[in-house]
Structure 1
C-alpha cells in the first residue's frame, strides 16, 4: 500500500486564490469609495442639523422682537435709551475709578474765553507760552 501525500498547492487552490485576489482587486476601490461617501454623507447631515438648529434659534430670536417689552429692553441695553423723566448714568470702567477723591495737582492754567473763538494754532501757541512762564519747583535733594 502506497501512501499518497496530499499536495498543498493544487491547481484548484491556485485558481481559487486567483479568483479571490481578482475579486478583492475589483471590489476594494468600490468599497472604499462607498465607505468614504458614507462618511461624507454623515458629515453633511451633521451640518444640516446644525444649520437647522441655528435657523430655529434665529426664528425664535425674530419672534422675540414682536414683544414690546423685549424691544424696550434691547433699546435700553444696546442704544442706552431712557424713558422721559429718567436719568441715565453710565459707568465707563468701574475698576479705573479710584475710591479716594482727586488731590489738587497744583496751580491750574488760566485759559481765556476768547481762545475758543481763535484758530487752533493760536490756542496751542498761547498754551506753549503759558507753560514757559509757569513756576518750576526744584527737586528736593
Structure 2
C-alpha cells in the first residue's frame, strides 16, 4: 500500500487563511482609530491640566492685586513711588549709564533713527549698496 501524498495546503486551510486575513483586515482600522482617539484624549487631558494650572495662577494674581498693601509695594518697587512725607532714595548700580557718564568716557552720539532711515532711502535712490553712519 502506498500512501498518497496529501498537498500541503488544502482547500479548507486556504479558506481558513482567507477568513483569518479578512477578520484581521476588518479589525485593523477600528484598532488604529481607537489608539488615535486614546492619544488625542491624553493630549486633551494634558492641555486641560495646563489650562487649569494657568487659571489657578491667574486667580492667585487677581487675589494679590485686590490687596491694597500689595499694590503699594508694587508701586514702590516698579514705579519708584514715594508716600507723602517719606524720604525715598534711588540707588544707581555701577552698570548704569549715569555712572559711566560721570567717569568722563565720551561716547559718540548716534544719529536719530529717522536720520539713518532717510540716509538709507537716499542711498537706495542713488544706487549705493551700503549706508555710511553719519558723523
Give the deviation of 1:12 after TM superposition: 1.5
1:101-140 matched pairs, under 5 angstroms: 101-102=103-104
- Which structure's residues are more often helix, by fraction? 2
Residue of structure 1 in register with 2:88 after alignment: 87
- Structure 1 unaligned blocks of 5 or more: 106-141
Bigger radius of gyration: 1
Q: What TM-score does the superposition give when structure 1 sets the normalisation length?
A: 0.61
Residue of structure 2 in register with 1:125 after alignment: none
1:17-32 matched pairs, under 5 angstroms: 17-32=17-32
Following the alignment from structure 1 to structure 2, what is the Cα–Cα distance between the partners of residues 101 and 60? 46
1:54-93 matched pairs, under 5 angstroms: 54-84=54-84, 85-89=86-90, 91=92
Quickly say closer, same or farther: Cα 1:65–1:14, change in 2 above 3 A: same
- Structure 2 unaligned blocks of 5 or more: 107-135
Give the deviation of 1:42 after TM superposition: 0.6
Give the deviation of 1:99 after TM superposition: 9.7
Q: What TM-score does the superposition give when structure 2 sets the normalisation length?
A: 0.63
Following the alignment from structure 2 to structure 1, what is the Cα–Cα distance between the partners of residues 75 and 6? 93
Q: Give the SS at the match of 1:49.
A: helix
Residue of structure 2 in register with 1:33 after alignment: 33
Output one character per residue of 1:17-49: Cα deviation in whole Å (capped at 9) or x when no partner.
101111122111111111111111110110000
Higher relative CO (CA 8 A, sep ≥ 6), structure 1 or 2?
Answer: 2
Residue of structure 1 in register with 2:45 after alignment: 45
